[in-house]
Chains A and B, each alone.
Chain A
Amino acid sequence: MNCRRARKLIDRGPYSALSDEEARCLEEHLLSCQRCRFYHDKARACLSAIEADARHIDCVAELSIDFGERFRQRLGDTKPRGVVSSQSPSQRLSALLISRNYRLEVFKRVVTTAGAIAVITLALANEFARPVDISDELVTLSRLPALSIRKSPNGRVYASVTLQSAALQPRRWEVLP
């Protein structure tokens, strides 16, 4: 048996019964290998420490005198989920409405909802309420570049392009022929 196998058996030992053959091989190996013997002793020592602690707990495990009283107090504040209350529905509703936590919760919800509505309204207003440029000379289509061509009395031709920029200010360029 090699050391690796021996250590596996040592780790497994307390929790799974080793076969006779495994136990014999391990014993032989432990006699011949000092390092594995040390490993084995440490494992045993760890188990002894736990068992000693467990024995100690068995001795001292006793509830304090006031445990029952404290427990009863805490139980009084608790109710199993889904238990039907002995109060009438109207009593329960009024108790719910006057409870501070409920009012706080309602307030929080109202404020949150109103805030959300305000933000959405502002966003929509900003999106759709852009000014539209309507001039005598130019026909402007909302958000689209508008091109207009006109002939002046002196016979020159003007082409105008009107754009609406993101800054909501119409721009106009005049192009000379």
Chain B
Amino acid sequence: MTADEQSLLDRARHGETDAFEELVRPHQDRLLKLALALSKNHEDAEDMLQDALVKAFGSLPCFRGECAFLTWLKRILLNVARNTFRRESRLRMRVKIFAQAGPATSGDPCERVTTEERRQFIRRALSALPSYYRDPLVMFHYQGLSYAEIAAVLEIPVGTVRSRLAKGRKLLELELEALGYPLNEADSVG
């Protein structure tokens, strides 16, 4: 952490919101990408990011500087995402909406599934994964983090990151298949 960041951090710790805003501004884009990968749409992602940043501001005295500030923020964002998923899944259980509106099941899947729908499939499949598989996958594929960086954020060994990635990718594939995603046509997404 540079001297500037340290002084901003000290001011933010004393409740100066401007200092906190300035401190998190360089990280907002990366955090937004992570939030986008973890949420269903842009609005949810922004809400998630805002919740995480507000939580981070409230918990600033707990930041001991043992890891990078961005790593700490990512950890908070992942926790917020986990809570959101938990809340949503509880709600789904309560109102018994297991089969959300998806593409129709008749006709040729390649024709009826549009690019946007494919993205929604991936979102839903990702959100259905347990967080200990979803988080490494999102950080590796969406954030481009190295194994060591993921290990630092999740506080787990590098070997565990690799095994969770492999297992998570396999589970994601199964989840996509269960949702009816045409995996044989996936190359045309984009």
Contact = CB atoms under 8 A, between A and B. Distances in A.
A47 B140 CA distance: 11
B186 interface: yes
A78 B57 contact: yes
A151 interface: no
B103 to A, nearest CB: 15
Contacts of A48: 186-187, 189
B183 A80 contact: no
B60 A46 contact: no
- Main secondary structure on A side of the interface with B: helix
Interface in B10-24: 12-15, 17, 20-21
Given A49-B189, A50-B141, A61-B33, A75 B17 contact: yes
Contact of B141 (A54, A56, A70): A54
A1 interface: no
A51 B61 CA distance: 37
Interface residues of B, number: 50
B21 A45 contact: no
B86 interface: no
Interface string A54-87: 1111101111100110111011101111111000
Query: For chain A, which range describes its interface: under 10, 10 to 19, 20 to 34, or 35 or more residues?
Result: 35 or more
B92 interface: no
A74 B51 CA distance: 9
A42 interface: yes
Given A16-B162, A43-B169, A75 B59 contact: no
Contacts of A47: 141, 169
B112 interface: no
Given A48-B186, A60-B42, A61-B32, 12 more contacts: A16-B166, A41-B184, A43-B169, A46-B172, A49-B118, A49-B122, A50-B137, A50-B142, A71-B50, A75-B57, A80-B57, A80-B59
